[in-house]
């Protein structure tokens, strides 16, 4: 099983024991999961103060890919392309996609409606 970037939605499923929780758990056991600094921001912003320990536990052992200058430039290029086609997606999704592309990794997400618009991005189930 190849490593995949876990998007915020599937990590929330894992934390709540819903939806894609089983798929995420299997990837975590197989050490075939990573995430991005943008996803960590999304989760940390949305989690209740008392659930910080649960989030830290869920992220323990996950490689977190940063938004570096290469990914930031890729995101800008993707934004221009999607904007030109009238197919914009949210900035956080765009940044996460750019990080995945520059790391040459697919994304595991339930939000395929947005992510499938991104050229060069691979999605996994």
Q: Are 5 and 106 in contact (CB under 8 A)?
A: yes
CATH of the domain at 85: 3.40.50.1010
Burial code (b: 16+ CB inside 10 Å, e: under 16) for 57-80 equals ebbeebeebebeeebeebbeebbe
Q: Per-residue pLDDT tens, the chain, 125 aa: give them.
A: 899 999 999 998 888 888 888 999 999 999 999 999 999 999 888 776 566 677 787 788 899 999 999 999 999 999 999 999 999 999 999 999 999 999 999 999 999 998 999 999 999 98
**Residue ranges of E strands in 49-89:** 63-65
Question: What is the residue range of 12's domain?
Answer: 4-124
Q: What are phi and psi of 43, to 5 degrees?
A: -70, -45
Q: Write out the H or E segment, with its range, that includes residue 124.
A: strand 123-124
Supply the pLDDT for residue 116: 95
Distances (CA, A) of 44 to 8, 13, 31: 10, 15, 22
Q: What is the pLDDT of residue 50?
A: 60
Structurally, the chain folds into a number of domains equal to: 1
């Amino acid at each position: 099983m190849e490593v995949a970037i876990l998007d915020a939605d599937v990590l929330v499923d894992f934390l709540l024991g819903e939806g894609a929780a089983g798929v995420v758990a299997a990837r975590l056991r197989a050490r075939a999961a990573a995430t991005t600094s943008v996803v960590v921001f999304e989760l940390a912003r949305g989690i209740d103060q008392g659930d910080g320990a649960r989030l830290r536990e869920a992220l323990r052992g996950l490689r977190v890919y940063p938004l570096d200058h290469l990914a930031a430039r890729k995101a800008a290029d993707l934004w221009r392309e999607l904007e030109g086609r009238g197919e914009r997606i949210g900035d956080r999704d765009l940044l996460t996609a750019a990080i995945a592309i520059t790391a040459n990794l697919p994304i595991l997400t339930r939000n395929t409606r947005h992510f499938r618009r991104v050229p060069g991005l691979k999605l996994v189930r």
